[in-house]
Amino acid sequence: MKIGSLELSMPFVQAPLAGYTDYPMRKLARRFGCPLTFTGMMLDQFALHAKAIRQEKFHPADDEHPVVAQIVGHDPATLARAAAVFEGLGYDMIDLNFACPVPKVLRRQRGGFLMQKPDLIRQALRQTRDAVRCPVLMKIRIGFDRSAAAEEDFWTICEIAAAEGVDMLAVHGRTVGQKYRGPADWTRIGQIKQRFATLTVFGSGDIFDAQTAVERLDCSGIDGIVIARGAVGNPWLFDELLARTQGRPSPPPPTLAAQGEVILEHFQMCCRMRTGRRAVAYFRKFLPGYTRRHPDRKATMLTLLAAQRPEDLTSAVKTAYGLQTASGTKHNPSQIF
């Protein structure tokens, strides 16, 4: 399938996830077969400050294309200007976030707040399309809440996306008010494709394994799936999905040692972006996902979460995942990274 002019190897991609989908997570997802990754949510105003936009975290790496810049804001003109800046930095697509349910984002009338403002979304999409040459995507939810007014706004926004020719509409199957409570409504996501057959629709919500991803795609009739929380600490999910897409047998589960090596590689990449205890603190949020495959998950997770220094976490991972030489001494980190 295609998004704009980009041919994807499979209809399963890594969703934008604020605070998670920085370069290390994107890099690993790509290695395991993910055809397209997204940055975490970036505020449009950062792109317009020369000093801020020079920071490395805002720039795509040469080895991770194609990659999408997701931006959030509340003013159509500012969003469009920011989109042009990010395109100039080398991002392959622009994604406009009208879905984020985080309270501080809503208070600033950004993200999911704009599900109540169809006309503003129309202006933002139109001005952004005029400002860039790359594909433009949108992320929304199935409404601001469950009211009749929100229902009307939701379908108006879908009509806008179709009429304005958005290259892909990603829809999370909960309302803004639900945040992540309750099950995602995949029936509603499927109804969008039924009403707007020419619109490229991707769905999101409660995808934590390959079987569920394939079932949701088949049952809903949509074009693809964006995987958010289910990909955290689980890059092997994309390997399995690629095998299924290509009609190959599912790959065997990663060995304990292979899991440990990926954890250490991810952590090492994080250490290049942050130092000392800051790197450990940042990386902790990935550990519940990574330890899910460990046969002694709870004890292993608690041990790794207790580490305070990079050397402590590295040693704990090596011990828990059997990354020892025959003589019992630790591997040289250069053998892993």
- Interhelix angle 310-320/256-273, rounded to 10 degrees, is 170
**Confidence class of residue 335 from pLDDT cuts 50, 70 and 90?**
very low
Whether the CB-CB separation of 16 and 40 falls below 8 Å is answered with yes
Structural domain boundaries in the chain: 2-245, 256-336
**What pLDDT digit, counting tens, does each position of 192-233 carry?**
999 999 999 999 999 999 999 999 999 999 999 999 999 999
Q: Which of 100, 134, 158, 270 is catalytic?
A: 100
Helix (H) or strand (E) holding 43: strand 42-43
The arithmetic mean of pLDDT across residues 42-68, rounded, is 93
pLDDT at 337 over 50: no
pLDDT at 301 over 50: yes
Q: Please identify which residue in the block is written with the tokens 């589960």.
A: 253
Q: What pLDDT is attached to residue 336?
A: 38
Cβ neighbours of residue 298 under 8 Å, at least 6 residues apart? none
Task: For the chain, give the percent of residues with pLDDT over 90.
Answer: 92
Cα–Cα distance, 275 to 283 (Å, whole number): 11
The whole model's pTM is what? 0.92
CA nearest to 16, candidates 309, 269, 228: 228
**Confidence class of residue 243 from pLDDT cuts 50, 70 and 90?**
very high
pLDDT at 142 over 60: yes
Cα dihedral 156, 159, 165, 168 in deg (nearest 10):
80
Alpha helices in the chain (DSSP H): 23-31, 50-53, 76-89, 103-107, 118-131, 148-163, 186-195, 210-220, 236-245, 256-273, 276-283, 287-290, 297-306, 310-320, 333-336
**What pLDDT digit, counting tens, does each position of 173-183 carry?**
999 999 999 99
Strand 2-3 versus strand 6-7 pairing type: antiparallel
How is domain 2-245 classified at the CATH fold level? TIM Barrel (3.20.20)
Question: 100 catalytic, yes or no?
Answer: yes
Whether the CB-CB separation of 133 and 80 falls below 8 Å is answered with no
